[in-house]
Amino acid sequence: MSLIVQKYGGTSVATPERIRAVARRVARYKSLGYQIVVVVSAMSGETNRLIGLAKEIMEEPDPRELDVMVSTGEQVSIGMAALALIDLGIKAKSYTGSQVKILTDDAHTKARILKIDHNNIQEDLDKGYVVVVAGFQGEDAQGNITTLGRGGSDTTGVAIAAALKADECQIYTDVDGIYTTDPRVVPEAKKLDSITFEEMLEMASLGSKVLQIRSVEFAGKYKVKLRVLSSFEEEGDGTLITFEEKNNMEQPIISGIAFNRDEAKVTILGVPDTPGSAYQILGPIADANIEVDMIIQNVGSVGTTDFTFTVNKNDLNKALAVLNEKVKNHVHAREVNGNDKIAKVSIVGVGMRSHIGVASKMFRTLSEEGININMISTSEIKISVVIDEKYLELAVRALHKAFELDI
């Protein structure tokens, strides 16, 4: 018998009425003969509310206790979802992460799943139950409640699907699939019928927030068939995330355009051009736990280089402090400065592998719009540029058109 995992996000379980709609959809699948595991998030806004409560007591809440609090959001949802199913005359049973049990490491608030003991839920499925599992939570080897990081219910859904060898993991959300770009920026953006895992990983890591990135990595690793769909629409196949590329003729060069405004740029000017300078700059940054994304090094005035990298906006001040206090004098640099008015725009597509001239087309498009490129980085299936924040929307719209994504 086919088994599917259906994960419903916060907006899909936001009210009792929405939860009843979830139950009706599950009932429909059940009547078609599927075994179903439902994974639910907390009702939308609830996790934020719980974090807010914790912060009213303690500004930097103790992580173990924070997990005890925030995991309750999902516990309410599983009870409600099971009730809604039972009310429709369907056998249903809820499980917290510990009850399943979903074993994680002990990194509170960002734990990783180590193992899922799925025997109990498999038995219930075989007895005809719909099993409703709390997303986002697990327990460590000592039995402490852990959570998987914001958006972690996606990862629960995928991990359960992997453990049970489900035929498909369906992620229900408030959009009807993955789009060529954010439709709020480009109204002509199109829903994709399918996207490859590699592309989805790039899109997710570049800030297209439909799926938690870890869940995509997990699905890639365990070959879970993933589909993103809307819980607000009765019909529609959503977007399938596949392992296969289309054949050459059908494969578009670019599948999507991702962007983010979350990064800031840090520049250290006039660094003596000697071996070890990159290490002397980035070592202290890494020691301060600051994640670096793009890096470029340019020839500066005679015998020196200029070094630029990007960090998350939240880390900008910390990065500048590290450079000013620990690096600048040490490497005899001239100047340190930061800029948080930047944006990153990336074009993503496996079709790039078999086409030349993709980068030059991107750069020509931007130059025709008079947009200056500050930084460039590339991978096999992605080209990213950093530009002035105020040109972001213009850049995305121009690229969307130039690569014919609106057709």
Residues making contact with Mg ion (CB under 5 A): 9, 151
Span near ligand ASP by CB under 6 A; candidates 83-91, 150-158, 161-169, 395-403: 150-158
User: Do residues 366 and 298 make contact, with C-beta atoms less than 8 angstroms apart?
Assistant: no
Complex with ligand ASP: residue 155 or 194, whichever CB lies closer: 155
Here the tokens at position 136 are 């986002």
Please report whether residue 113 would count as binding ligand ASP according to CB under 6 A. Answer: no
Query: Cα-flanking dihedrals φ and ψ of residue 331, to 5°?
Result: -95, 5
One residue of 11, 94, 98, 153 binding ligand ASP per CB under 6 A: 153
Binding partner of residue 47 among Mg ion, ligand ASP, none, CB cut-off 5 to 8 Å per kind: ligand ASP
Q: How far is the CB of 149 from Mg ion (least distance, A)?
A: 11
Please report whether residue 216 would count as binding ligand ASP according to CB under 6 A. Answer: no
Helix (H) or strand (E) holding 393: helix 392-402
Alpha helix segments (H runs only) across 288-357: 316-322, 328-331
Q: How far is the CB of 210 from ligand ASP (least distance, A)?
A: 12
Binding partner of residue 135 among Mg ion, ligand ASP, none, CB cut-off 5 to 8 Å per kind: ligand ASP
Helix (H) or strand (E) holding 339: strand 335-339
Quick one: residue 404, left, alpha or beta (phi over 0 = left, psi -120 to 50 = alpha)?
left
> What angle is formed at CA 199 by the lines to CA 385 and CA 168, rounded to 5 degrees?
155
One residue of 8, 34, 95, 136 binding ligand ASP per CB under 6 A: 136
Query: Cα-flanking dihedrals φ and ψ of residue 329, to 5°?
Result: -70, -40
Q: How far is the CB of 93 from ligand ASP (least distance, A)?
A: 21
One residue of 11, 12, 35, 47 binding ligand ASP per CB under 6 A: 47
Quick one: which of 51, 161, 163, 35 has its CA closest to 109?
51
Complex with Mg ion: residue 12 or 194, whichever CB lies closer: 12
Please report whether residue 351 would count as binding ligand ASP according to CB under 6 A. Answer: no
Complex with ligand ASP: residue 73 or 177, whichever CB lies closer: 73
Here the tokens at position 328 are 């600048």
Please report whether residue 138 would count as binding ligand ASP according to CB under 6 A. Answer: no
Alpha helix segments (H runs only) across 208-355: 213-222, 277-287, 316-322, 328-331
Span near ligand ASP by CB under 6 A; candidates 39-47, 99-107, 245-253, 321-329: 39-47
Site for ligand ASP in 55-84 (CB under 6 A): 73
Burial of 22 per CB tally in 10 Å (0-12, 13-18, 19+): buried
Site for ligand ASP in 7-26 (CB under 6 A): 9-10
Complex with ligand ASP: residue 153 or 231, whichever CB lies closer: 153
User: Do residues 10 and 46 make contact, with C-beta atoms less than 8 angstroms apart?
Assistant: yes
Here the tokens at position 277 are 């300078």
Span near ligand ASP by CB under 6 A; candidates 16-24, 41-49, 221-229, 251-259: 41-49
What are the helix and strand counts (H, E) for the chain? Answer: 14, 20
One residue of 152, 220, 270, 349 binding ligand ASP per CB under 6 A: 152
One residue of 11, 41, 104, 215 binding ligand ASP per CB under 6 A: 41
The residues facing 337 across adjacent strands are 267
Binding-site ranges for ligand ASP (CB under 6 A): 9-10, 41-42, 47, 73, 135-136, 150-154
